Structure 1
Amino acid sequence: MEILDILIIGAGPIGLNCAIEAQKNNLSYLIIEKGTIVNSLYHYPLYMRFFSTAEKLEIDGTPFISPAPKPGRQEALEYYQGIARQKDLNIHLYEKVVKVFKIDDVFEIETTKGNYFAKNVVIATGFYDIPNLMNIPGENLPKVKHYYTEPYPYARQKVVVIGSSNSAVDAALETYRKGAEVTMIIRHSEISKSVKYWVKPDIENRISEGSITAHFNAEILEVKEQSVIFKDYDHQIHEIENDFVLAMTGYLPDFEFLRNSGIELNGDCLNPQYNMETMETNISNLYLAGVVCGGKDTHLWFIENSRAHAEMILNNIISKLENR
Structure 2
Amino acid sequence: MAIYDLVIVGAGPAGLAAAIAAKRTGLKFRILEKGALVNSIFRFPSQMVFLTTPDLLEIGDLPFVTPHGKPTRDETLRYYRRVVEAFDLEIDYGVTVTEIKTGAADEPFSIDTEHEHEGQVIFLAQTVIVASGCYDHPNQLSIPGEELPHVSHYFTESHEFFQKHVVIVGGKNSAAEAALELYRSGASVTLVHRRAELGSSIKYWVKPDIENRIKEGSIKAYFETNVIEIRPHKMVIEQDGERKTISADGVFLLTGYLADLDFLKRCGIVVRSNNVPEHDAESFETNVPGLYLAGAVVAGANRGEVFIENGRFHGQVVVGHIVKQLGNQVVTA
Q: Which band: TM-score by shorter chain? A: over 0.9
Task: Tell me how far apart the structure 2 counterparts of residues 285 and 181 of structure 1 sit (CA, whole Å).
Answer: 52
| 1:323 positional shift | 8.3
Task: Tell me how far apart the structure 2 counterparts of residues 260 and 189 of structure 1 sit (CA, whole Å).
Answer: 38
**Are positions 1:15 and 2:21 aligned together?**
no
Indicate the residue corresponding to 2:166 in structure 1: 159
Indicate the residue corresponding to 1:252 in structure 2: 258
Task: Tell me how far apart the structure 2 counterparts of residues 146 and 171 of structure 1 sit (CA, whole Å).
Answer: 12
**Are positions 1:303 and 2:305 aligned together?**
no
Percent pairwise identity: 43
Instruction: Note the residue ranges of structure 1 that are not aligned, 5 or more in a row.
Output: none
Q: Is the 1:222–1:228 Cα contact (8 Å) retained in structure 2?
A: yes
Indicate the residue corresponding to 2:124 in structure 1: 117
| 1:85 positional shift | 1.5
Task: Report the 3-state secondary structure (helix = DSSP H, G, I; strand = E; otherwise coil) of the residue aligned with 1:130.
Answer: coil
Indicate the residue corresponding to 2:193 in structure 1: 186
The superposition leaves residues 157-183 of structure 1 with CA deviations (integer Å, 9 ceiling, x where unpaired) of: 111110011111111000001111111
Indicate the residue corresponding to 2:281 in structure 1: 276
| 1:226 positional shift | 2.5
**Are positions 1:291 and 2:293 aligned together?**
no
Indicate the residue corresponding to 2:154 in structure 1: 147
Task: Tell me how far apart the structure 2 counterparts of residues 206 and 81 of structure 1 sit (CA, whole Å).
Answer: 37
Residues 1-324 of structure 1: pairs in structure 2 closer than 5 A: 1-104=1-104, 105=106, 106-113=108-115, 114-232=121-239, 234-267=240-273, 269-322=274-327
The superposition leaves residues 49-105 of structure 1 with CA deviations (integer Å, 9 ceiling, x where unpaired) of: 111110000001110011121101111111111111221112111111111101123
Compare 288-297 and 134-143 and name the one that shifted more: 134-143
Task: Tell me how far apart the structure 1 counterparts of residues 243 and 61 of structure 2 sit (CA, whole Å).
Answer: 55
Task: Tell me how far apart the structure 2 counterparts of residues 208 and 136 of structure 1 sit (CA, whole Å).
Answer: 29
Counterpart residue identity of residue 142, structure 2: N
Task: Tell me how far apart the structure 1 counterparts of residues 169 and 65 of structure 2 sit (CA, whole Å).
Answer: 35
Task: Tell me how far apart the structure 2 counterparts of residues 322 and 27 of structure 1 sit (CA, whole Å).
Answer: 11
Counterpart residue identity of residue 279, structure 1: F
Task: Report the 3-state secondary structure (helix = DSSP H, G, I; strand = E; otherwise coil) of the residue aligned with 2:127.
Answer: strand
| TM-score, length basis structure 2 | 0.94
The superposition leaves residues 165-203 of structure 1 with CA deviations (integer Å, 9 ceiling, x where unpaired) of: 111111100000111111110011111011111111100
Counterpart residue identity of residue 199, structure 1: V
Task: Tell me how far apart the structure 1 counterparts of residues 288 and 12 of structure 2 sit (CA, whole Å).
Answer: 23
Task: Tell me how far apart the structure 2 counterparts of residues 208 and 137 of structure 1 sit (CA, whole Å).
Answer: 31
Task: Report the 3-state secondary structure (helix = DSSP H, G, I; strand = E; otherwise coil) of the residue aligned with 2:317.
Answer: helix
Counterpart residue identity of residue 178, structure 1: S
Task: Tell me how far apart the structure 2 counterparts of residues 275 and 3 of structure 1 sit (CA, whole Å).
Answer: 25
Task: Tell me how far apart the structure 2 counterparts of residues 82 and 93 of structure 1 sit (CA, whole Å).
Answer: 17
Instruction: Note the residue ranges of structure 2 that are not aligned, 5 or more in a row.
Output: 116-120
Q: Is the 1:29–1:90 Cα contact (8 Å) retained in structure 2?
A: no
| TM-score, length basis structure 1 | 0.97
Task: Tell me how far apart the structure 1 counterparts of residues 302 and 327 of structure 2 sit (CA, whole Å).
Answer: 36
The superposition leaves residues 20-53 of structure 1 with CA deviations (integer Å, 9 ceiling, x where unpaired) of: 0000001101100001211111111101111111
Aligned residues: 322
Task: Tell me how far apart the structure 2 counterparts of residues 87 and 226 of structure 1 sit (CA, whole Å).
Answer: 49
Task: Tell me how far apart the structure 2 counterparts of residues 79 and 61 of structure 1 sit (CA, whole Å).
Answer: 12
| 1:295 positional shift | 1.0
Task: Tell me how far apart the structure 2 counterparts of residues 257 and 226 of structure 1 sit (CA, whole Å).
Answer: 35
Compare 248-257 and 195-204 and name the one that shifted more: 248-257
Counterpart residue identity of residue 118, structure 1: A
Task: Tell me how far apart the structure 2 counterparts of residues 180 and 108 of structure 1 sit (CA, whole Å).
Answer: 50
Q: Is the 1:270–1:296 Cα contact (8 Å) retained in structure 2?
A: yes
Q: Is the 1:159–1:243 Cα contact (8 Å) retained in structure 2?
A: yes
Counterpart residue identity of residue 180, structure 1: A
Task: Tell me how far apart the structure 2 counterparts of residues 241 and 314 of structure 1 sit (CA, whole Å).
Answer: 52
| 1:222 positional shift | 0.8
Task: Tell me how far apart the structure 2 counterparts of residues 259 and 321 of structure 1 sit (CA, whole Å).
Answer: 25
Task: Tell me how far apart the structure 1 counterparts of residues 7 and 138 of structure 2 sit (CA, whole Å).
Answer: 26
Counterpart residue identity of residue 176, structure 2: V
Aligned-pair RMSD on alpha carbons? 1.2
